Amino acid sequence: MQKLIVKGKKVLSGVVKISGSKNATLPILAASVLSDKKIEINNVPLVKDVITMSELLKHIGSDIRVNSKKKKILIHNKKRNFKTVAPYSLLKTMRAGVIVLGPLLSKFGKATVSLPGGCAIGTRPVDVHLFGLKKLGAKIKIKNGYILAEAKRGLFGTTIKLPSISVGATENVIIAASYAKGTTYIKNCACEPEIKNLTDFLKKMGIKIQWTGKRKIKIIGNQKLKPVSHSVMFDRIEAGTFIIAGALAAKKLKIIGLESKILRKELAVLKRMGVKFKIKKNEITVFNSKNIKPVSIHTEPYPGFPTDLQAQIMVLMIKAKGVSKIKENIFENRFMHVPELNRMGGRIKVLGNLSVIDGPQELNGAEVMATDLRASVSLVLAGLIGKNRTVINRVYHLDRGYENLEKKLRKCRANISRLNY
Protein backbone atom coordinates (compact mmCIF):
# COMPACT_ATOMS: atom_id res chain seq x y z
CA MET A 1 0.00 0.00 0.00
CA GLN A 2 1.09 3.57 -0.61
CA LYS A 3 0.19 7.02 0.66
CA LEU A 4 0.91 10.57 -0.44
CA ILE A 5 2.35 13.18 1.89
CA VAL A 6 1.58 16.79 0.93
CA LYS A 7 3.10 19.72 2.79
CA GLY A 8 0.96 22.74 2.03
CA LYS A 9 1.40 26.46 1.47
CA LYS A 10 4.12 26.08 -1.18
CA VAL A 11 3.71 28.53 -4.07
CA LEU A 12 3.55 26.67 -7.37
CA SER A 13 5.23 27.86 -10.57
CA GLY A 14 6.49 26.25 -13.74
CA VAL A 15 5.21 24.32 -16.76
CA VAL A 16 2.97 21.25 -16.82
CA LYS A 17 2.57 19.10 -19.95
CA ILE A 18 -0.81 17.38 -20.09
CA SER A 19 -0.82 13.64 -20.83
CA GLY A 20 -2.99 11.76 -23.28
CA SER A 21 -6.52 10.97 -22.20
CA LYS A 22 -7.19 7.75 -20.32
CA ASN A 23 -10.88 8.01 -21.23
CA ALA A 24 -10.00 8.22 -24.93
CA THR A 25 -7.34 5.50 -24.84
CA LEU A 26 -9.49 2.75 -23.31
CA PRO A 27 -12.21 2.56 -26.01
CA ILE A 28 -9.57 2.87 -28.75
CA LEU A 29 -7.72 -0.12 -27.28
CA ALA A 30 -11.00 -2.04 -27.12
CA ALA A 31 -11.78 -1.17 -30.76
CA SER A 32 -8.42 -2.62 -31.85
CA VAL A 33 -9.96 -6.09 -31.33
CA LEU A 34 -11.87 -5.60 -34.61
CA SER A 35 -8.74 -5.54 -36.79
CA ASP A 36 -6.02 -8.00 -37.77
CA LYS A 37 -3.93 -5.18 -39.30
CA LYS A 38 -1.10 -3.27 -37.61
CA ILE A 39 -2.24 -0.56 -35.20
CA GLU A 40 -0.10 2.17 -33.64
CA ILE A 41 -1.53 4.30 -30.83
CA ASN A 42 0.48 7.35 -29.74
CA ASN A 43 0.35 9.78 -26.80
CA VAL A 44 -0.84 6.99 -24.53
CA PRO A 45 -0.97 7.75 -20.77
CA LEU A 46 0.63 4.87 -18.89
CA VAL A 47 -1.84 4.85 -16.01
CA LYS A 48 -3.13 1.78 -14.20
CA ASP A 49 -6.39 1.49 -16.18
CA VAL A 50 -4.51 1.56 -19.51
CA ILE A 51 -2.07 -1.11 -18.29
CA THR A 52 -5.00 -3.24 -17.11
CA MET A 53 -6.75 -2.89 -20.48
CA SER A 54 -3.49 -3.86 -22.24
CA GLU A 55 -3.26 -6.95 -20.02
CA LEU A 56 -6.87 -7.80 -20.85
CA LEU A 57 -6.18 -7.57 -24.60
CA LYS A 58 -3.08 -9.74 -24.17
CA HIS A 59 -5.19 -12.26 -22.22
CA ILE A 60 -7.76 -12.59 -25.00
CA GLY A 61 -5.09 -13.02 -27.68
CA SER A 62 -3.83 -9.64 -28.91
CA ASP A 63 -0.17 -9.23 -29.79
CA ILE A 64 0.28 -5.98 -27.90
CA ARG A 65 3.48 -4.14 -27.03
CA VAL A 66 3.68 -1.12 -24.75
CA ASN A 67 6.56 1.29 -25.35
CA SER A 68 6.59 3.29 -22.11
CA LYS A 69 9.46 5.54 -23.21
CA LYS A 70 7.67 6.70 -26.37
CA LYS A 71 4.15 6.57 -24.83
CA LYS A 72 3.13 4.25 -27.64
CA ILE A 73 1.19 0.99 -27.96
CA LEU A 74 1.63 -1.33 -30.95
CA ILE A 75 -1.00 -3.99 -31.70
CA HIS A 76 -1.14 -6.71 -34.34
CA ASN A 77 -3.90 -9.27 -33.86
CA LYS A 78 -2.43 -12.16 -35.87
CA LYS A 79 -3.96 -14.98 -33.83
CA ARG A 80 -7.15 -16.61 -35.06
CA ASN A 81 -8.03 -18.34 -31.79
CA PHE A 82 -9.03 -15.39 -29.64
CA LYS A 83 -10.49 -15.99 -26.22
CA THR A 84 -13.84 -14.24 -25.86
CA VAL A 85 -13.87 -14.17 -22.06
CA ALA A 86 -12.94 -11.02 -20.10
CA PRO A 87 -12.51 -12.30 -16.53
CA TYR A 88 -13.35 -10.66 -13.22
CA SER A 89 -9.70 -10.88 -12.15
CA LEU A 90 -8.81 -8.25 -14.78
CA LEU A 91 -11.98 -6.16 -14.72
CA LYS A 92 -12.53 -5.87 -10.96
CA THR A 93 -10.62 -2.58 -10.69
CA MET A 94 -11.72 -1.01 -13.96
CA ARG A 95 -15.21 0.23 -14.81
CA ALA A 96 -14.35 0.69 -18.48
CA GLY A 97 -13.58 -3.01 -18.97
CA VAL A 98 -17.12 -3.64 -20.19
CA ILE A 99 -16.18 -1.72 -23.35
CA VAL A 100 -14.68 -4.94 -24.79
CA LEU A 101 -18.17 -6.50 -24.91
CA GLY A 102 -19.16 -4.78 -28.18
CA PRO A 103 -16.00 -5.53 -30.19
CA LEU A 104 -15.72 -9.16 -29.02
CA LEU A 105 -19.36 -9.82 -29.80
CA SER A 106 -19.24 -8.08 -33.18
CA LYS A 107 -16.00 -9.74 -34.32
CA PHE A 108 -16.43 -13.26 -32.91
CA GLY A 109 -20.18 -13.64 -32.43
CA LYS A 110 -19.92 -14.25 -28.69
CA ALA A 111 -18.53 -12.67 -25.53
CA THR A 112 -18.46 -13.39 -21.81
CA VAL A 113 -17.55 -10.24 -19.88
CA SER A 114 -17.43 -9.69 -16.13
CA LEU A 115 -19.66 -6.99 -14.75
CA PRO A 116 -17.46 -3.95 -14.07
CA GLY A 117 -15.63 -2.87 -10.92
CA GLY A 118 -13.70 0.41 -10.43
CA CYS A 119 -14.68 3.44 -8.34
CA ALA A 120 -17.53 3.18 -5.85
CA ILE A 121 -19.25 6.37 -7.04
CA GLY A 122 -22.55 4.93 -8.16
CA THR A 123 -24.19 1.94 -9.75
CA ARG A 124 -23.30 2.90 -13.35
CA PRO A 125 -25.64 0.18 -14.71
CA VAL A 126 -24.77 -1.55 -17.96
CA ASP A 127 -28.43 -1.60 -19.04
CA VAL A 128 -27.90 1.02 -21.76
CA HIS A 129 -24.93 -0.95 -23.18
CA LEU A 130 -27.04 -4.11 -23.34
CA PHE A 131 -30.03 -2.26 -24.81
CA GLY A 132 -27.95 -1.03 -27.75
CA LEU A 133 -26.27 -4.38 -28.41
CA LYS A 134 -29.61 -6.22 -28.29
CA LYS A 135 -30.94 -3.81 -30.92
CA LEU A 136 -28.03 -4.89 -33.14
CA GLY A 137 -29.18 -8.50 -32.80
CA ALA A 138 -27.38 -9.86 -29.74
CA LYS A 139 -28.93 -12.29 -27.29
CA ILE A 140 -27.79 -11.39 -23.79
CA LYS A 141 -28.23 -12.69 -20.26
CA ILE A 142 -26.49 -12.05 -16.96
CA LYS A 143 -25.37 -14.99 -14.87
CA ASN A 144 -23.01 -15.32 -11.88
CA GLY A 145 -21.65 -11.79 -12.27
CA TYR A 146 -20.96 -12.13 -16.00
CA ILE A 147 -22.62 -10.79 -19.15
CA LEU A 148 -23.16 -13.67 -21.59
CA ALA A 149 -23.72 -12.36 -25.11
CA GLU A 150 -24.19 -14.19 -28.38
CA ALA A 151 -24.82 -13.28 -32.03
CA LYS A 152 -24.35 -16.47 -34.05
CA ARG A 153 -25.11 -14.80 -37.39
CA GLY A 154 -23.27 -11.61 -36.46
CA LEU A 155 -24.65 -8.15 -35.72
CA PHE A 156 -26.81 -6.17 -38.14
CA GLY A 157 -27.22 -2.44 -38.61
CA THR A 158 -30.41 -0.84 -37.35
CA THR A 159 -31.74 2.37 -35.81
CA ILE A 160 -31.06 2.70 -32.08
CA LYS A 161 -32.31 5.43 -29.76
CA LEU A 162 -30.43 5.03 -26.51
CA PRO A 163 -32.77 5.40 -23.50
CA SER A 164 -30.33 7.73 -21.72
CA ILE A 165 -27.08 9.50 -22.53
CA SER A 166 -24.20 7.20 -21.60
CA VAL A 167 -20.58 7.64 -22.66
CA GLY A 168 -19.63 3.98 -22.20
CA ALA A 169 -22.76 2.65 -23.91
CA THR A 170 -22.29 5.03 -26.85
CA GLU A 171 -18.71 3.81 -27.28
CA ASN A 172 -19.69 0.15 -27.00
CA VAL A 173 -22.46 0.45 -29.57
CA ILE A 174 -20.33 2.54 -31.97
CA ILE A 175 -17.54 -0.07 -31.93
CA ALA A 176 -19.96 -2.98 -32.33
CA ALA A 177 -21.81 -1.24 -35.18
CA SER A 178 -18.50 -0.57 -36.97
CA TYR A 179 -18.08 -4.29 -37.66
CA ALA A 180 -21.79 -5.06 -38.08
CA LYS A 181 -23.39 -5.77 -41.45
CA GLY A 182 -25.24 -2.76 -42.86
CA THR A 183 -25.88 0.75 -41.60
CA THR A 184 -26.57 1.78 -38.02
CA TYR A 185 -28.13 5.05 -36.87
CA ILE A 186 -27.59 5.91 -33.18
CA LYS A 187 -29.69 8.63 -31.57
CA ASN A 188 -29.39 10.25 -28.13
CA CYS A 189 -25.71 9.32 -28.01
CA ALA A 190 -23.04 10.99 -25.90
CA CYS A 191 -20.84 13.46 -27.80
CA GLU A 192 -17.80 13.81 -25.54
CA PRO A 193 -14.51 14.77 -27.25
CA GLU A 194 -13.18 11.32 -26.33
CA ILE A 195 -15.95 9.76 -28.43
CA LYS A 196 -15.00 12.01 -31.35
CA ASN A 197 -11.41 10.78 -30.90
CA LEU A 198 -12.68 7.19 -31.04
CA THR A 199 -14.67 7.81 -34.23
CA ASP A 200 -11.59 9.46 -35.80
CA PHE A 201 -9.64 6.27 -35.03
CA LEU A 202 -12.37 4.07 -36.53
CA LYS A 203 -12.52 6.23 -39.66
CA LYS A 204 -8.78 5.72 -40.16
CA MET A 205 -9.40 1.96 -39.94
CA GLY A 206 -11.84 2.25 -42.84
CA ILE A 207 -15.22 2.63 -41.10
CA LYS A 208 -17.58 5.21 -42.61
CA ILE A 209 -18.86 7.30 -39.71
CA GLN A 210 -20.79 10.56 -39.89
CA TRP A 211 -22.11 12.77 -37.10
CA THR A 212 -25.51 13.81 -38.47
CA GLY A 213 -26.45 15.95 -35.45
CA LYS A 214 -25.26 16.87 -31.97
CA ARG A 215 -26.34 13.48 -30.58
CA LYS A 216 -26.87 11.51 -33.80
CA ILE A 217 -24.40 9.33 -35.65
CA LYS A 218 -24.47 7.17 -38.79
CA ILE A 219 -22.15 4.15 -39.13
CA ILE A 220 -21.69 1.94 -42.19
CA GLY A 221 -20.16 -1.32 -41.00
CA ASN A 222 -16.99 -2.62 -42.66
CA GLN A 223 -15.06 -5.83 -42.05
CA LYS A 224 -12.16 -5.05 -44.39
CA LEU A 225 -10.06 -2.81 -42.20
CA LYS A 226 -6.79 -0.95 -42.79
CA PRO A 227 -3.60 -0.44 -40.74
CA VAL A 228 -3.78 2.71 -38.66
CA SER A 229 -1.62 5.15 -36.72
CA HIS A 230 -3.49 7.39 -34.32
CA SER A 231 -2.74 9.88 -31.54
CA VAL A 232 -4.84 10.02 -28.41
CA MET A 233 -6.26 13.44 -27.53
CA PHE A 234 -5.14 15.34 -24.41
CA ASP A 235 -6.68 14.55 -21.02
CA ARG A 236 -9.16 17.39 -20.46
CA ILE A 237 -9.79 16.30 -16.85
CA GLU A 238 -6.08 16.42 -16.02
CA ALA A 239 -5.92 19.82 -17.73
CA GLY A 240 -8.85 21.10 -15.64
CA THR A 241 -7.25 19.70 -12.49
CA PHE A 242 -3.99 21.59 -13.08
CA ILE A 243 -5.81 24.80 -14.00
CA ILE A 244 -7.61 24.61 -10.64
CA ALA A 245 -4.29 23.80 -8.90
CA GLY A 246 -2.86 26.95 -10.48
CA ALA A 247 -5.79 29.06 -9.32
CA LEU A 248 -5.42 27.71 -5.79
CA ALA A 249 -1.68 27.72 -5.23
CA ALA A 250 0.36 29.16 -8.09
CA LYS A 251 2.08 32.45 -8.74
CA LYS A 252 2.16 31.55 -12.43
CA LEU A 253 1.51 28.08 -13.86
CA LYS A 254 1.70 27.30 -17.59
CA ILE A 255 -0.27 24.26 -18.79
CA ILE A 256 0.68 23.03 -22.26
CA GLY A 257 -0.46 20.32 -24.67
CA LEU A 258 -4.20 21.02 -24.64
CA GLU A 259 -7.01 22.47 -26.78
CA SER A 260 -8.75 25.32 -24.98
CA LYS A 261 -11.88 25.13 -27.15
CA ILE A 262 -12.66 21.72 -25.64
CA LEU A 263 -12.54 23.32 -22.16
CA ARG A 264 -15.00 26.15 -22.92
CA LYS A 265 -17.50 25.27 -20.17
CA GLU A 266 -14.86 24.71 -17.50
CA LEU A 267 -13.05 27.94 -18.37
CA ALA A 268 -16.33 29.89 -18.39
CA VAL A 269 -17.10 28.69 -14.84
CA LEU A 270 -13.56 29.51 -13.64
CA LYS A 271 -13.81 32.97 -15.20
CA ARG A 272 -17.06 33.59 -13.30
CA MET A 273 -15.22 32.61 -10.13
CA GLY A 274 -12.55 35.23 -10.76
CA VAL A 275 -9.73 32.91 -11.80
CA LYS A 276 -7.10 34.77 -13.83
CA PHE A 277 -5.78 32.99 -16.90
CA LYS A 278 -4.44 33.69 -20.38
CA ILE A 279 -5.15 31.44 -23.37
CA LYS A 280 -2.74 30.85 -26.26
CA LYS A 281 -3.00 28.29 -29.05
CA ASN A 282 -2.27 25.05 -27.15
CA GLU A 283 -1.60 26.39 -23.67
CA ILE A 284 -3.20 28.16 -20.73
CA THR A 285 -1.30 30.21 -18.15
CA VAL A 286 -2.97 30.54 -14.75
CA PHE A 287 -2.05 33.33 -12.35
CA ASN A 288 -2.46 33.81 -8.62
CA SER A 289 -6.19 34.24 -8.15
CA LYS A 290 -7.39 35.98 -5.00
CA ASN A 291 -10.96 37.09 -4.27
CA ILE A 292 -12.54 33.88 -5.59
CA LYS A 293 -16.30 34.33 -6.11
CA PRO A 294 -19.00 31.78 -5.23
CA VAL A 295 -20.94 30.11 -8.03
CA SER A 296 -23.66 27.49 -8.48
CA ILE A 297 -23.05 24.78 -11.06
CA HIS A 298 -24.52 21.43 -12.10
CA THR A 299 -22.80 18.50 -13.76
CA GLU A 300 -24.10 17.20 -17.06
CA PRO A 301 -22.91 15.37 -20.19
CA TYR A 302 -20.61 17.23 -22.58
CA PRO A 303 -20.67 20.09 -23.47
CA GLY A 304 -21.83 20.74 -19.89
CA PHE A 305 -19.63 20.86 -16.78
CA PRO A 306 -17.99 17.43 -16.33
CA THR A 307 -18.73 15.30 -13.29
CA ASP A 308 -15.04 14.30 -13.33
CA LEU A 309 -14.07 17.87 -12.28
CA GLN A 310 -16.74 18.25 -9.61
CA ALA A 311 -14.52 17.25 -6.67
CA GLN A 312 -11.65 19.48 -7.81
CA ILE A 313 -13.72 22.63 -8.27
CA MET A 314 -15.26 22.05 -4.84
CA VAL A 315 -11.83 22.71 -3.32
CA LEU A 316 -11.71 26.06 -5.14
CA MET A 317 -15.21 26.84 -3.86
CA ILE A 318 -13.94 26.40 -0.29
CA LYS A 319 -11.81 29.51 -0.93
CA ALA A 320 -14.70 31.54 -2.41
CA LYS A 321 -16.20 34.40 -0.41
CA GLY A 322 -19.76 33.18 0.01
CA VAL A 323 -21.93 30.14 -0.59
CA SER A 324 -21.38 27.92 -3.64
CA LYS A 325 -23.53 25.01 -4.75
CA ILE A 326 -22.93 21.91 -6.86
CA LYS A 327 -25.76 19.75 -8.17
CA GLU A 328 -24.48 16.32 -9.22
CA ASN A 329 -26.64 15.00 -12.05
CA ILE A 330 -24.52 12.11 -13.35
CA PHE A 331 -23.69 9.82 -10.41
CA GLU A 332 -25.77 9.36 -7.28
CA ASN A 333 -22.88 8.75 -4.90
CA ARG A 334 -20.19 11.22 -5.88
CA PHE A 335 -19.81 13.35 -2.77
CA MET A 336 -17.73 10.85 -0.80
CA HIS A 337 -14.83 13.33 -0.73
CA VAL A 338 -16.94 15.79 1.30
CA PRO A 339 -16.34 14.20 4.76
CA GLU A 340 -12.59 14.18 4.03
CA LEU A 341 -12.58 17.85 2.98
CA ASN A 342 -14.60 18.69 6.08
CA ARG A 343 -11.96 16.89 8.19
CA MET A 344 -9.51 19.43 6.78
CA GLY A 345 -11.69 22.41 7.74
CA GLY A 346 -14.23 22.68 4.95
CA ARG A 347 -17.84 23.59 5.73
CA ILE A 348 -19.78 21.54 3.21
CA LYS A 349 -23.29 20.10 3.55
CA VAL A 350 -24.71 17.39 1.32
CA LEU A 351 -28.44 17.37 0.65
CA GLY A 352 -29.15 14.47 -1.70
CA ASN A 353 -27.46 15.30 -4.99
CA LEU A 354 -26.74 18.88 -3.89
CA SER A 355 -23.67 20.06 -2.00
CA VAL A 356 -23.54 23.48 -0.35
CA ILE A 357 -20.08 24.93 0.23
CA ASP A 358 -19.73 27.76 2.76
CA GLY A 359 -16.57 29.75 2.13
CA PRO A 360 -14.02 31.02 2.60
CA GLN A 361 -12.46 28.49 4.98
CA GLU A 362 -8.85 27.91 5.94
CA LEU A 363 -7.86 24.28 5.42
CA ASN A 364 -5.58 22.37 7.78
CA GLY A 365 -3.56 19.26 7.02
CA ALA A 366 -5.07 15.97 8.18
CA GLU A 367 -4.96 12.26 7.48
CA VAL A 368 -7.60 11.50 4.86
CA MET A 369 -8.71 8.63 2.65
CA ALA A 370 -9.27 8.61 -1.10
CA THR A 371 -12.55 6.99 -2.13
CA ASP A 372 -12.36 7.25 -5.92
CA LEU A 373 -10.15 8.56 -8.71
CA ARG A 374 -11.29 12.20 -8.80
CA ALA A 375 -11.90 12.42 -5.05
CA SER A 376 -8.28 11.43 -4.50
CA VAL A 377 -6.95 14.32 -6.57
CA SER A 378 -9.26 16.80 -4.81
CA LEU A 379 -7.55 15.82 -1.54
CA VAL A 380 -4.16 16.52 -3.16
CA LEU A 381 -5.42 19.99 -4.17
CA ALA A 382 -6.69 20.59 -0.63
CA GLY A 383 -3.33 19.49 0.74
CA LEU A 384 -1.52 22.00 -1.48
CA ILE A 385 -3.32 24.91 0.22
CA GLY A 386 -3.73 23.41 3.69
CA LYS A 387 -1.58 24.31 6.68
CA ASN A 388 0.99 21.73 7.69
CA ARG A 389 0.94 18.15 6.42
CA THR A 390 -1.81 16.15 4.68
CA VAL A 391 -1.57 12.36 4.45
CA ILE A 392 -3.68 10.76 1.69
CA ASN A 393 -4.33 7.04 1.97
CA ARG A 394 -5.49 4.60 -0.75
CA VAL A 395 -3.78 6.47 -3.58
CA TYR A 396 -4.14 3.48 -5.89
CA HIS A 397 -7.32 5.27 -6.99
CA LEU A 398 -5.16 8.17 -8.18
CA ASP A 399 -2.87 5.90 -10.18
CA ARG A 400 -5.81 4.64 -12.24
CA GLY A 401 -6.15 7.95 -14.06
CA TYR A 402 -3.30 10.42 -13.40
CA GLU A 403 0.11 9.89 -14.98
CA ASN A 404 3.03 10.93 -12.75
CA LEU A 405 0.91 13.41 -10.80
CA GLU A 406 3.34 13.94 -7.93
CA LYS A 407 6.32 14.22 -10.32
CA LYS A 408 4.51 16.92 -12.30
CA LEU A 409 3.61 18.77 -9.11
CA ARG A 410 7.15 18.50 -7.73
CA LYS A 411 8.46 20.07 -10.96
CA CYS A 412 6.17 23.00 -10.10
CA ARG A 413 7.70 23.26 -6.59
CA ALA A 414 5.02 21.38 -4.66
CA ASN A 415 6.21 19.48 -1.59
CA ILE A 416 4.66 16.07 -2.26
CA SER A 417 6.06 12.56 -1.81
CA ARG A 418 4.91 8.95 -1.91
CA LEU A 419 5.51 6.44 0.87
CA ASN A 420 5.15 2.66 0.99
CA TYR A 421 3.66 1.18 4.13
pLDDT, tens only, 237-273: 999 999 999 999 999 999 999 999 999 999 999 999 9
- Residues 204-232: what's their mean pLDDT? 96
Same domain for 175 and 70, yes or no, is yes
Mean pLDDT across the stretch 299-303? Answer: 96
Confidence class for position 118, pLDDT limits 50, 70, 90: very low
What pLDDT is attached to residue 57? Answer: 95
Q: Is the same domain home to 222 and 355?
A: no
Q: Given pLDDT bands bounded at 50, 70 and 90, which one contains residue 80?
A: confident
Exposure string for 240-278, b = 16+ CB within 10 A, e = fewer: bbbbbbbbbbbebbbbbbbebebbebbbebbeebbbebe
Task: Report the range of poorest mean pLDDT among 114-123, 364-373, 402-411.
Answer: 114-123
pLDDT at residue 117, rounded to an integer: 60
242 shares its domain with 224:
no
Statement: residue 419 has pLDDT above 70: yes
Domain limit, last residue, from 231, 266, 297: 231
The domain that holds 258 is classified in CATH as 3.65.10.10
Lowest mean pLDDT among 17-31, 77-91, 216-230, 348-362: 77-91
pLDDT band at 93 (very low <50, low <70, confident <90, very high): confident
Q: Give me the mean pLDDT over the 223-238 stretch.
A: 97
Last residue within a domain, chosen from 185, 210, 231: 231
172/65 same-domain check: yes
Mean local confidence (pLDDT), 318-327: 98
Predicted local distance difference test score (pLDDT) of residue 120: 44
143 with 170, same domain: the answer is yes
Instruction: Count the domains in the chain.
Output: 2
Q: Are 44 and 133 contained in the same domain?
A: yes
Average pLDDT over residues 57-83: 91
Structural domain harbouring 149: 22-231
Looking at the structure, do residues 14 and 120 belong to the same domain, yes or no? no
pLDDT per position as a tens digit, 191-209: 999 999 999 999 999 999 9
Within this chain, do residues 270 and 186 fall inside the same structural domain, yes or no? no
Please determine, for residue 357, whether its predicted confidence score (pLDDT) is greater than 80: yes
Active site residue 412: no
User: Would you place residue 124 in the very low, low, confident or very high pLDDT band (cuts 50, 70, 90)?
Assistant: low
Residues 352 and 410 in one domain: yes
Q: What is the pLDDT of residue 121?
A: 38
- Residue at a domain's end among 207, 231, 255: 231
Instruction: Give the model's confidence band at 334: pLDDT under 50 very low, under 70 low, under 90 confident, else very high.
Output: confident
Q: Which residues contact 81 (CB under 8 A, 6 or more apart)?
A: 61
Decide if pLDDT at 119 tops 60.
no
Digit-coded pLDDT (tens) for 4-63: 999 999 999 999 999 999 999 999 999 999 999 999 999 999 999 999 999 999 999 999
Of 181-185, 270-274, 286-290, the one with minimum mean pLDDT is 286-290
Say if residue 290 is in the same domain as residue 195: no
Which of 119, 189, 191, 412 is an active site residue? 119
Q: Clarify whether residues 131 and 242 are in a common domain.
A: no
- Percentage of the chain lying above the pLDDT 90 cut: 88
* Together in a domain, 197 and 280: no
